[in-house]
Amino acid sequence: MREIRFDRFGGPEVLSLIPDAPMPEPGPDEVLVEVAFVGLNPLDYKIRDGSSGMSRDLQLPAGTGREMAGTVIGAGAGLDEAELGSRGLSVGTRVFGMRAPGDPRGVAAEVIAIGADDLAPIPGEISDEDLPRWAGLALAGLTAIAVIDDSAAIAPGQTVLVHGGSGGVGQLLIPMAIEAGASQVWATGRADNAERIRELGAVPIPYDTGNWQEEIHRLTDGRGVDVVLDTHYHSTFVPSLDHVTEGGLVVTLPTLADLTPAHERGVEATVPRIKPGRDRLDRLVQGIRAGRYLLEVSQVLPLDEIARAHSLLEDGHTRGKLVLAAQS
């Protein structure tokens, strides 16, 4: 089978397509999945270049990618047909999911072995044309749930500012913040993504045609917002500290974010931790089916264009999700 691997940390050029990689053997509680599409995330290039905390103990050569959608084609010895059926993961079922945080294996391959608990079935009415979106749903969705439910704990009536509202996680943070009861959600993004941000339910604040700090100051009459959800961090974290209400909160996504500037100023700040689980994956399914989570895929590239895909990720202006087609 074909698989993407890298044998050293570095730029996109270290990624190689292996045309004759061995087929994986599923563990006792693992499912064998023929991968249709692979969702890409900034975490992927941070692992590849060695800047992520997940790179520290990574054994090279290694695979890449954390989330995918595909079809169950087999299972390990601990999962018979009855057990698979009870989980909704019978052979032939289309599924989506992501590697558990402690599982360093990639998913950018034609076939993978993955824990059964890390998957959920895709509803039968979903068309083949919509399948790429499901490949990009698990990591972004579980991240958004961790932000909204576990870290921000948004209360009804609070005001929220989302940095990066048109990105993969941002497109889920906005509707989830509204579900949680936020009275007003603003979101930064490029001007050409303003309409998309409006569709998601937030008021757009273009950062490329104006000064977002001046605008949020004006919109809140200088009060600031109760909660900042920061998907960018590097250029937005410290400036955001000037626009949080007393007793407010900043949630920033990068796991290695330095929260010292916030703590020195007495501003509460935290980094979310993803909690995988079938219940949370099923919640994402319900949100998609109800039309509440409008995550979009901006581009689908073939597996052999993995280096180009990583370059696009690092550019930082991808709208929605970038996805790889795993099958030739």
Beta strand pairing call for 159-163 and 225-230: parallel
In this model, does residue 304 exceed pLDDT 90?
yes
Q: 250 and 173 in one domain?
A: yes
pLDDT given for residue 185 in this prediction? 98
What is the percentage of the chain residues whose pLDDT exceeds 70? Answer: 100
Q: 310 and 190 in one domain?
A: no
Q: 65 and 28 in one domain?
A: yes
Confidence of residue 319 (pLDDT cuts 50, 70, 90): confident
Q: 171 and 97 in one domain?
A: no
Does 248 map to a domain? Answer: yes
Domain boundary among 270, 287, 303: 270
Torsion angles phi and psi, residue 43, rounded to 5: -55, -35
Specify the range with the lowest mean pLDDT, choosing from 126-130, 147-151, 193-197: 126-130
Domain boundary among 254, 270, 286: 270
267-298 pLDDT per residue, tens: 999 999 998 889 999 999 999 999 899 888 98
Contacts of residue 262, defined as CB under 8 A and 6 or more positions apart, other chains included, come to 237, 241, 250, 268, 269
Q: 99 and 210 in one domain?
A: no
221-261 pLDDT per residue, tens: 999 999 999 998 889 999 999 999 999 999 999 888 899 99
Average pLDDT, the chain: 94
Q: 167 and 105 in one domain?
A: no
Does 284 map to a domain? Answer: no
68-89 pLDDT per residue, tens: 999 999 999 999 999 999 999 9
Does 266 map to a domain? Answer: yes
Q: What is the mean pLDDT of residues 122-149?
A: 94
pLDDT given for residue 52 in this prediction? 87
Q: Do 63 and 5 meet the contact criterion of CB atoms below 8 Å apart?
A: yes
pLDDT given for residue 234 in this prediction? 87
**Residue-level length of the chain:** 328
Residue 223: CATH number of its domain: 3.40.50.720
Q: 77 and 114 in one domain?
A: yes
Confidence of residue 101 (pLDDT cuts 50, 70, 90): confident
Does 289 map to a domain? Answer: no
Q: Which domain holds residue 42?
A: 3-137+295-325
Confidence of residue 28 (pLDDT cuts 50, 70, 90): very high
Does 281 map to a domain? Answer: no
Does 244 map to a domain? Answer: yes
Q: 95 and 19 in one domain?
A: yes
pLDDT given for residue 294 in this prediction? 84
Q: 119 and 24 in one domain?
A: yes
pLDDT given for residue 256 in this prediction? 82
CA 242 vs. chain centroid, Å, equals: 27
Does 252 map to a domain? Answer: yes
Does 276 map to a domain? Answer: no
Q: Report in angstroms the alpha-carbon separations of 272 from 12, 149, 152.
A: 27, 10, 9
pLDDT given for residue 53 in this prediction? 84
Q: 299 and 262 in one domain?
A: no
Q: 152 and 56 in one domain?
A: no
In this model, does residue 318 exceed pLDDT 80?
no
Domain count across the chain: 2
Q: 130 and 156 in one domain?
A: no
